[in-house]
Amino acid sequence: MELLGRFGVGLRAARKSRGLTQEDFSTVSSRTYLSSLERGIKSPTISKIEDLATIIGVHPVTLLALAYLPSTVDGRSEMCSQISAEIHSLLQDMPANEDS
């Protein structure tokens, strides 16, 4: 399954896990657009991912992570460790008060 399809599957799973319907997103997108995201037909912008995450009640990175999530528990743990290590490494190279 390609990336857009995996994002859509993750978005649908997150939405359903919170007991939300597609209509619950009407303040940020149409039902048709949300359906096309969930079917992997359309690609969301970063701003749209943030809007969707807000409705679901998760961090926007969580929705992206679901698209890349390995199928095994060990794989998921390794992915989380890798992301944590990469962020830590990148932050070490950044000035403390850098806003951009």
**For 73-96, what is each residue's pLDDT tens digit?**
999 999 999 999 999 999 997 777
All domains in the chain, ordered by first residue? 3-69 (1.10.260.40)
pLDDT in tens, 37-67: 999 999 999 999 999 999 999 999 999 999 9
Q: What is the pTM of this model?
A: 0.84
| Non-local CB neighbours of 37 within 8 Å, separated by 6+ positions | 7, 8, 11, 29, 44, 52
Q: Which residue has the higher pLDDT, 41 or 1?
A: 41
Q: Are 67 and 26 in contact (CB under 8 A)?
A: no
Residue 27 CA to residue 70 CA, distance in Å, equals 32
Q: How far is CA 81 from the centre of its chain?
A: 17
Sign of CA dihedral 89, 91, 96, 100: positive
